[in-house]
């Protein structure tokens, strides 16, 4: 998606160590028009998957997942990292190793909103090691639901996430694929 890549080139920053700072338009401050365009493009690419629900993880997955769900006309569920008091005692819970935090986080979804009949499209802001998305896929699996696709705004191709997700056997789409961040550069894959 060219508008996204241009924005990453203009406003993204390579902080070193594989860390891409895009918090001016994606995950602290959000540019709503750009994010809506991302959601529409993800919805277009996954239209054949006939998803009935979008699933993401709080926090920074919420905006892109919401926009994809809006464009697809289906509800979006964001997995919580802490169980709110409004959630039933029986939940789907899995642990996902957090790449940037160096520990595991819980991902929790209420069974009320993830059913065995569901066709789940997983959306997140980043695909890096793929651990969060694998956790979301486990939650869908625990519910007996089918994962029908995985879409992300930005993929870092050098962190192995796509390979980690391949066993799921579903289409994976990234709107911008960053292939190289060595020496301060931000190089997109072809």
Q: Within 10 Å of residue 156's Cβ, how many Cβ atoms?
A: 25
What are residue 119's DSSP bridge partners? 146
∠ at Cα 79 (108, 42), nearest 5°? 150
Q: How far is the CB of 23 from a copy of itself (least distance, A)?
A: 5
Nearer to a copy of itself (CB atom), residue 113 or residue 158? 113
Q: How far is the CB of 166 from a copy of itself (least distance, A)?
A: 28
Rg of the chain over Cα atoms, rounded to whole angstroms, equals 16
Q: State which of residues 1, 45, 106, 110 lies at the interface with a copy of itself (CB under 8 A).
A: 110
Q: Tokens 């529409």 correspond to what residue?
A: 40
Query: Cβ(148)–Cβ(118) under 8 Å?
Result: no
Count, residues near a copy of itself per rule CB under 8 A: 39
Nearer to a copy of itself (CB atom), residue 111 or residue 141? 111
Contact between 167 and a copy of itself per CB under 8 A: no
User: Phi and psi for 156 in degrees, rounded to 5?
Assistant: -100, 105
Find the length of the chain: 190
Q: Report the site for a copy of itself in 49-88 (rule: CB under 8 A).
A: 58-59, 62-63, 66, 69-70, 73-78, 80, 84-87
Residues that bind a copy of itself (CB under 8 A): 15, 19, 21-25, 27-33, 35-36, 58-59, 62-63, 66, 69-70, 73-78, 80, 84-87, 100, 109-110, 112-113
């Amino acid at each position: 998606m060219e508008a996204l890549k241009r924005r990453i080139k203009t406003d993204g920053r390579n902080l070193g160590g594989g860390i891409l700072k895009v918090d001016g338009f994606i995950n602290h401050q959000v540019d709503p028009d750009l994010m809506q365009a991302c959601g529409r493009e993800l919805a277009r690419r996954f239209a054949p998957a006939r998803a009935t629900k979008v699933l993401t993880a709080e926090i920074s997955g919420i905006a892109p997942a919401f926009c994809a769900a809006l464009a697809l006309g289906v509800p979006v569920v964001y997995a919580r990292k802490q169980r709110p008091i409004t959630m039933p005692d029986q939940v789907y819970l899995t642990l996902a190793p957090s790449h940037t935090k160096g520990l595991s986080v819980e991902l929790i979804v209420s069974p009320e909103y993830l059913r065995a009949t569901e066709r789940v499209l997983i959306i997140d802001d980043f695909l890096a090691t793929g651990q969060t998305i694998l956790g979301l896929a486990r939650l869908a699996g625990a519910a007996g639901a089918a994962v029908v696709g995985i879409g992300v705004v930005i993929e870092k191709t050098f962190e192995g996430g796509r390979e980690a997700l391949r066993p799921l056997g579903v289409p994976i789409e990234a709107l911008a694929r960053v292939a190289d961040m060595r020496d301060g550069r931000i190089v997109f894959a072809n």
